[in-house]
Structure 1
Amino acid sequence: MLPDKFSIRFSKYQGTGNDFIMIDDRDEQFPVDKNFIEFLCHRRFGIGADGLILLRNAEGYDFRMVYFNADGGEGSMCGNGGRCTVRFAQDLGLFEENTLFIAVDGEHKAVACEEEIFLKMGDVTGGSPDGNDYFLNTGSPHYVTFVEAVEAVDVVTEGKKIRYGDVYGPKGGTNVNFVQNLDEQTLYVRTYERGVEDETYSCGTGVTACALVAHKRFGMTEPINVKTKGGDLRVSFVEDETGFNNIYLIGPAVKVYEGVFVVD
């Protein structure tokens, strides 16, 4: 039950166009309510964002990241959201350059430079071919399919077919990435994100998945450059007999504005 009248101080951050409402919730006073979070993320009636992130205290870590999708449900790991949370925590004075934090998929290291955030992702093992396509989990589930002309793809229509289809729908769905090889070192990725239920300007865990699959399928060497609608990212990694480790998602995370949202 939400109180009749209250106000919330928030900040907006974006990482290559993937935007988030950031809440300093170290006192854990934010009213976690699915419908309310969905309302705040609505681009017509609320603040508007691809997701909402609570920054909380966590013993043994600089902070805890709690991520909610735009539909109000608590989500799996979000790479761009992680980079934005790192910048938010740095702006709050929680660390200077190097940080260790915890998210839903475990602990993450990060380095916050002036222009970019280097976010260490979780190790990736397994992954399975699906015909000519690929499915793997990089903190969130991702379906990766390569196309000749990614700008020509109807990402929402085609993404929904896979996200809600007979294979992945009963398992809770999956994010869907459409990828074009631009050159021997560069990909162009467009992503349909579950929870947002739309194409986003960028998806960090999706970009990571596409880079790892490009390495497996085409021998593309790291760091792999990835173009998205919202900007450019890089993915570095090490592959050994167990899978991929020392994976870093690298790119900008920028504060857009801050404000107070009043509910009355």
Structure 2
Amino acid sequence: MTRVIKFTKMHGAGNDYIYVNTLKYPIESPEKLSVEWSAPHTGIGSDGLVLIGSSDKADFSMRIFNADGSEAKMCGNASRCIGKYLYECGLTSQTAVTLDTLSGIKILKLHVEDGKVNTVTVDMGRPADMKEQPIEANGQKFTGTTVSMGNPHLVIFVEDIKDINLESIGPKLENHPLFPDRINVEFAQVLEEGKIRMRVWERGSGITQACGTGACATAVAAALTGKSGRKTDIIMDGGSLTIEWDEKTDHVWMTGGAVRVFDGEVIMNDE
């Protein structure tokens, strides 16, 4: 027996995922499918698989599976893409949408122009578990800042980001004994007032073009260490995000775009 699953490929600042509306197309074994579909040569090619579903606590739910099949608690870029998907596919007419994630309920504010979602602002919640962290890997010593944005991050500021071999050091830090559940790693360079260049090694996906929660963690770490104020543009390989850490509420707000790349379908052979 065969069935068709329709999907949409989207990206936020180059962080690309495969999106499936499970209200219409139920998915079994998403861990396995994320590995198969994310493969760049034999699959669709992506950083992972995102499932849009129902929720009894919010307007919709989001589940995220990395390219290695592991499940992530939160993804800022994916949440912005879901906001665009929901509005432009007619699943909602609201410009304020609540999203149920494994790291809690997130609020999406859709900025609509001529019937299209231009940018999305996401309430990413309060940062947690913030502390300075000396660490050594590959014979190199670093001092980083750990920040949780619903998922764990290690932010390391350097003088020149071009000197960092992310492909080599990234997996060593992700799997460091200090982090038994593994960790996302960001290297960042302060460029000028209000601008920071950042590159990311994502837990379960490796080098990606961007990371929304990583951008938030970097902005928080910069503010904590006096390297920037509370509003920062984080410039990543795939694009920029504006991050604001509100002093009154302690919430982090992320604003950026979302792009619909293409629609497609997968023919499944169910046994």
**Scaled by the length of structure 1, what TM-score is found?**
0.92
- Counterpart of 2:226? 218
CA distance, structure 1, for counterparts of residue 182 and residue 157 of structure 2: 19
User: Which one of the candidate residues 74, 81, 90 is aligned to 1:84?
Assistant: 81
- After the TM superposition, which residues 1-80 of structure 1 pair with which residues of structure 2 at under 5 Å, given as runs? 5-27=2-24, 29-80=26-77
- Counterpart of 1:136? 147
- Counterpart of 1:255? 260
- Give the direction of change, closer, same or farther, for the CA distance of 1:5–1:47 in structure 2 (3 Å limit): same
- Give the direction of change, closer, same or farther, for the CA distance of 1:95–1:251 in structure 2 (3 Å limit): same
- Counterpart of 1:202? 210
- Counterpart of 2:181? 172
Deviation at 1:255, TM superposition (A): 0.6
Q: Secondary structure at the match of 1:181?
A: strand
- Counterpart of 2:126? 123
- Unpaired runs of 5+ in structure 2? 113-117, 135-142
- Counterpart of 2:156? 145
- Counterpart of 1:238? 246
User: Which one of the candidate residues 237, 250, 263 is aligned to 1:229?
Assistant: 237
Deviation at 1:212, TM superposition (A): 0.3
CA distance, structure 2, for counterparts of residue 7 and residue 208 of structure 1: 37
Pick the structure with more strand per residue.
2
CA distance, structure 2, for counterparts of residue 229 and residue 247 of structure 1: 22
- Counterpart of 1:110? 108
Single out whichever of 63-72 and 32-41 deviates more from structure 2. Answer: 32-41
- Give the direction of change, closer, same or farther, for the CA distance of 1:191–1:26 in structure 2 (3 Å limit): same
CA distance, structure 2, for counterparts of residue 25 and residue 36 of structure 1: 14
Q: Secondary structure at the match of 1:48?
A: coil
Single out whichever of 138-147 and 125-134 deviates more from structure 2. Answer: 125-134
- Residues 145-195 of structure 1: CA deviation (Å, up to 9, x unaligned): 011111231112111111112212xx1110100000001211001000111
| Equivalent pair of 1:123/1:246 in contact (CA under 8 Å) | yes
Q: Secondary structure at the match of 1:210?
A: helix
Q: Secondary structure at the match of 2:83?
A: helix
Q: Secondary structure at the match of 2:74?
A: coil
CA distance, structure 1, for counterparts of residue 72 and residue 189 of structure 2: 27
Task: Name the % identity.
Answer: 27
CA distance, structure 2, for counterparts of residue 81 and residue 206 of structure 1: 13
Aligned structure 1 segments of 4 or more residues deviating by more than 6 angstroms: none
CA distance, structure 2, for counterparts of residue 33 and residue 255 of structure 1: 21
Q: Secondary structure at the match of 1:224?
A: strand
User: Which one of the candidate residues 123, 147, 168 is aligned to 1:157?
Assistant: 168
Deviation at 1:60, TM superposition (A): 4.2
> Cα RMSD (Å) of the superposition?
1.6
Report the AA paired with residue 204 of structure 2.
G
| Equivalent pair of 2:6/2:25 in contact (CA under 8 Å) | no
CA distance, structure 2, for counterparts of residue 33 and residue 209 of structure 1: 27
Report the AA paired with residue 77 of structure 2.
N
- Give the direction of change, closer, same or farther, for the CA distance of 1:106–1:53 in structure 2 (3 Å limit): same
Deviation at 1:6, TM superposition (A): 2.7
